[in-house]
Amino acid sequence: MLAGKTAVVTGSTSGIGLGIARALAYQNCDVMLNGFGDRDEIERIRGNIASEYGVEVAYSDADMADPAAVRGLIEETTAHLGKVDILVNNAGIQHTAPIESFPAEKWDAILAINLSSAFHTASAALPQMQERGWGRIVNIASAHGLVASPEKAGYVAAKHGVVGLTKVIALENAGTGITCNAICPGWVRTPLVEKQIEAISRDKGIDMEAASHELLAEKQPSLQFVTPEQIGAMTVYLCTDAAAQITGSSLSVDGGWTAR
């Protein structure tokens, strides 16, 4: 469905971002991967996606905490793959602590990577989308972009900001062929969530299976993790003509978390 399109997916060397990149490539979309990790493993991932789906796949290690590097990612993609039709802002980090002991440097880093990077990529990519009269921006927010949890001041503030930024971009580009939406996942078993499960297991002296059930039971009524593949499928849908009139929306994929 997306043959001839080119996508940038930030934070796509693992987890949700990798699931999105694979889903877009499956639809014959060329993809720019981005993220940190072992270079050999990233090259293996890049090569596998390219060969499996027969698309162009490039990689950039642009640091999403650096505004110049973030904007440079759009320039690099345009140079290597020709254009940016689809922008998926997925990169994110997490830290938990009460506000009074929340490290200022962690706050700054979370807002830079989880929120400001989405502003900079959109700002850099929109002019060429506007020139062509077509574009899709998908921001990966979170259930925490709609509701809060204790000890997650930075993450909750950033993800609420992503939801607000999504609405502004959508309004400014309404009727131009460009849409902007936010996907708000619940618990997805990514490395970030794995750390939280490990913490529960360690603090309560229970095994990982029991700890994961406890994590789900607190928030997610389905008692099942959302999968990267499901987020990838939702992203693809938002990039199709069927979703051309969906813009400025925050779409919950959270097993019922925010329904309560």
Q: In 3D, which of 217, 157, 162 has the Cα closest to residue 184?
A: 162
DSSP string, 156-187: HHHHHHHHHHHHHHHHHTTTTTEEEEEEEE--
Q: What angle do CA 86, 91, 96 make, to 5 degrees?
A: 150
Question: Pick from 95, 112, 91: which is nearest to 196 by CA?
Answer: 95
Q: Which two tokens stand for residue 42?
A: 């990233």
Rg (C-alpha) for the chain, rounded Å, is: 18
Candidate list 26, 53, 59, 155, residue with the active-site label: 155
Q: How far apart are the first and last CA of the chain?
A: 36
CA distance 227 to 188: 6
Cβ contacts of 221-224, under 8 Å, gap ≥ 24: 221/255, 221/256, 221/257, 221/259, 221/260, 222/255, 222/256, 223/255, 224/255
Tokens of 8: 């940038």
Q: Is 237 a catalytic residue?
A: no
DSSP H helices in 62-116:
67-81, 104-111
Give catalytic residue positions: 155
